[in-house]
A and B are shown apart, each in its own frame.
Chain A
Amino acid sequence: MAAIAETLDAVQAVTDGGYKWGFSTDIEMDMAPKGLNEDIIRLISSRKDEPAWLLDWRLKSYAAWLKTEEPDWAKIKHPPIDYQDLHYYAAPKKKPGPKSLDEVDPELLRTYERLGIPLRERAILAGVEGAEDERPPIAIDAVFDSVSVATTFRSTLAKSGVIFCPISEAVRDHPELVRKYLGSVVPAGDNYFAALNSAVFTDGSFVYIPKGVRCPMELSTYFRINARNTGQFERTLIIAEEGAYVSYLEGCTAPQRDENQLHAAVVELIVFDDAQIKYSTVQNWYPGDANGKGGIYNFVTKRGACRGARSKISWTQVETGSAITWKYPSCILQGDDSVGEFYSVAVTTNHQQADTGTKMIHIGRNTRSTIVSKGISAGKSNNTYRGLVRVLPKAHGARNHTQCDSLLIGDQCGAHTVPYIESRNPTAKLEHEATTSKIADDQLFYCRQRGLSQEDAVGLIVNGFCKDVLKELPMEFAVEAQKLLAISLEGSVG
């Protein structure tokens, strides 16, 4: 993803200030009429040629959604969302879905190029590309509004038995797997936004790593909201069989628009004995302007089940975007000796609101979890860490270590830490540490005296503050994330 870093600079150069990913793409769209009802759900399902069982599941989810209330416990405020004023399906015209990159609308390819997402499978044989690109390639699934437009390196992956494809395609080609696991970690009626997603999800990625396979490359999905007044409801499902390993990355951006846009995703991870999923997110949806106008409402349910012994799930997230972030990637530590990790950086500036954290549910014996959360608030923003550590009676020897640090920039922002700890096993060892600090004037001056600009100084100090999380990201992503942090905080000091 070296290309991402380079093009990030390029994109920055062509746009002036503020959000650098805010351009929109002029492309012919196939849109469902606004509104949500059973007919719309049937329409989505038929557009995707889905089997009856899936339509049925969607309709049940919709019924569940109608019976649930929007949650109100998070420390966020927003005007009521009019769920009837949205398009629930928007896809670039050109049907059926492209089979190869050559069939993808060149305008789309250009969009991803501008974003720095290399959709062309460049020849990576030694000597062809030259020595400057010796990094391992990354397979990418690009989701544009409601559909996946391209997935790269599929044949390479198939050789090792790895399935990486849009979930709509998995429904068609691997129905037994999808049917078995979809909704098995986040049930349709789990919460308001999960129910909504289950009813109307349009696309997302599906990953299956067979027994004993270490996925030969990083997998990545890149989400882009482009159309106006559309919701994006993607669904991701990743299964790692016994002894399997995969590192998966997701990135997201959206054009700059005055109205708020809704994004309600669901991600489910399932890991069996000795398997591991490393899931990294760099979330950079449009955050709204300096006055809090526009921006994405990001309501996401992410949960992983460590079903096998010694299985491991590691969530790493860098959240810089969205007007509202409501998201708690969680681990259900069922298998004995299973491990859950959550590493998070959440940055809020201007009027952004983030209420994010994790849940670690210890069920099996000797299960361990680590939580490292770094919240950075600037401007008039609010940044809340909300985390639950629950130890069930049979989780002998369970352990958790939680570290929550907040960094404040300026004096109009808020940082809040809301830890919930419930232990029903006396052998559990749970530790919680929390700190709050400010970027000190003498730190800034020290940096500037050495020649750094104010902004570079803030970037450096913030990156230092986030180091424990950033080092968990795959290397190329870490470089990316560092730049993103610096850019997000531009102009927030002084």
Chain B
Amino acid sequence: MLEIKNLTANIDNKTILNGIDLVVPDGEIHAIMGPNGSGKSTLSYVLSGREGYDVTGGTATFDGADLLDMEPEARAAAGLFLAFQYPVELPGVNNANFLRTALNAQRRARGEAELDAVAFLKLSRAEAKRLSMPDDMLKRNVNVGFSGGEKKRNEVLQMAVLRPRLAILDETDSGLDIDALKIVADGVNALRGPNFSALVITHYQRLLDYIVPDRVHVLASGRIIRSGGPELAHQLEAHGYAAIVAEAA
């Protein structure tokens, strides 16, 4: 279970997160929507441990463990996965090799046996196939020369192979064609279960037709100003943020 209490964070002495309260129980998928610049990506970075953010107050725990006190790789090993809004290119680094190194690093950290090359190849190919991704995606260098949509799909492939317990998807649907959108949603839905929870950051109700969230939250100016069921997303789609933001102010 992810529990965030009154979390505040600065970048360069500027407050970006302004007291976030959020609980995502195991087995649930929560959507986060909100205007550009409201702090959605910042929240995902703070939770996953990116440098450059000063946490000035509050707590964030995952299954009781203090997330904010852990190195990024330890959070990953604990099961936290971030699908980046802007996936990063790693020139010369083979995608399959990267993913296997990552998986085995996590497994080592958890005291599990490492996967050998053959077992990994089998696993990664099966996942690529399930997500209708060509095998050669695994052979290419990490995100180098990938189209915008391919990069997003690659994030989902990584998620499928790493099998996180908590996934944060930061606008993974942006830039995807309709078919890819369904594939990505399938990828998330396949992980659904009592030991998986997710925070899905999106600007579009459309994704939520495929990944039906348990809760929808609206983030504005670094604070959650409204929470509701899936119907809240429809409401936002129809009327925009203005009314809710004005109400909260």
Contact = CB atoms under 8 A, between A and B. Distances in A.
B73 interface: yes
B90 A446 contact: yes
Contact of A443 (B48, B90, B101, B103): B90
Point out which of B77, B81, B102, B103 has the most chain A C-beta atoms below 10 A from its C-beta: B102
Contact of B50 (A440, A445, A464): A445
A32 interface: no
A452 B50 contact: no
B109 A449 contact: no
A475 B31 CA distance: 48
B48 A452 contact: no
B8 interface: no
Interface stretch (B54-62, B91-99, B177-185): B91-99
B105 interface: yes
A374 to B, nearest CB: 10
A78 to B, nearest CB: 33
Given A441-B51, A453-B73, A464-B141, A447 B91 contact: no
B71 interface: yes
B238 interface: no
Interface in A445-489: 445-454, 456, 460-461, 463-468
A442 interface: yes
A371 to B, nearest CB: 18
Contacts of B98: 447, 450, 460
A446 B82 CA distance: 9
Interface string B210-244: 00000000000000000000000000000000000
B92 A452 contact: no
A465 B141 CA distance: 11
Given A441-B51, A460-B101, A464-B141, A449 B92 contact: no
Nearest to A445: B50
Contacts of B52: 441
B92 A450 contact: no
Interface string A428-449: 0000000000001111011111
A469 B51 CA distance: 32
Given A445-B50, A445-B51, A445-B72, A450 B102 contact: yes
What range describes how many residues of B lie at the interface? 20 to 34
A447 B106 contact: no
Contacts of B81: 449
Contact of B91 (A445, A450, A464): A464
Contacts of B71: 448
A452 B105 contact: yes
B76 interface: yes
Point out which of A449, A452, A461 has the most chain B C-beta atoms below 10 A from its C-beta: A449
B146 interface: no
Contacts of B101: 452, 456, 460
Contacts of A442: 88
Contacts of A450: 76, 98-99, 102, 105-106, 158, 162
B87 interface: yes
B204 interface: no
A451 B106 contact: yes
A440 B105 CA distance: 21
Interface in B37-76: 48-52, 71-73, 75-76
B102 A447 contact: yes
Contacts of A466: 92
A274 B139 CA distance: 35
A461 B101 CA distance: 12
Contact of A463 (B77, B89, B92): B92
Nearest to B76: A451
B105 A456 contact: yes
Nearest to B93: A464
Contacts of A467: 92
Nearest to A453: B73
A450 B141 CA distance: 16
B93 A448 contact: no
A464 B92 contact: yes
Contacts of B50: 445, 449
Interface in A401-453: 440-443, 445-453
Nearest to B83: A449
Nearest to A466: B92
Contacts of A441: 51-52
Given A460-B98, A464-B141, A449 B48 contact: yes
B106 A446 contact: no
A248 to B, nearest CB: 26
A453 B105 contact: yes
Interface string B128-155: 0000000000000100000000000000
B145 to A, nearest CB: 14
B84 interface: yes
Contacts of B76: 448-451
A452 B93 contact: no
Contacts of A449: 48-50, 72-73, 75-76, 81-82, 84
Point out which of A441, A446, A453, A456 has the most chain B C-beta atoms below 10 A from its C-beta: A446
Contacts of A448: 49, 71-73, 76
Contacts of A456: 101, 105
A457 B27 CA distance: 32
Contacts of A445: 50-51, 72, 88
A460 B82 contact: no
A464 B98 CA distance: 10
B100 to A, nearest CB: 11
Interface of B: 48-52, 71-73, 75-77, 81-82, 84, 87-93, 98-99, 101-103, 105-106, 109, 141, 158, 162
7 contacts: A441-B52, A448-B71, A448-B73, A450-B98, A450-B102, A451-B73, A454-B73
Given A448-B72, A464-B92, 20 more contacts: A440-B88, A445-B51, A445-B72, A446-B87, A447-B98, A449-B49, A449-B50, A449-B76, A450-B99, A450-B105, A451-B73, A451-B77, A451-B109, A452-B101, A454-B73, A456-B101, A460-B90, A460-B93, A465-B91, A465-B92
What are the nearest 9 A-B pairs in CB distance? A464-B92, A450-B102, A464-B93, A451-B106, A446-B88, A451-B76, A467-B92, A448-B72, A451-B105
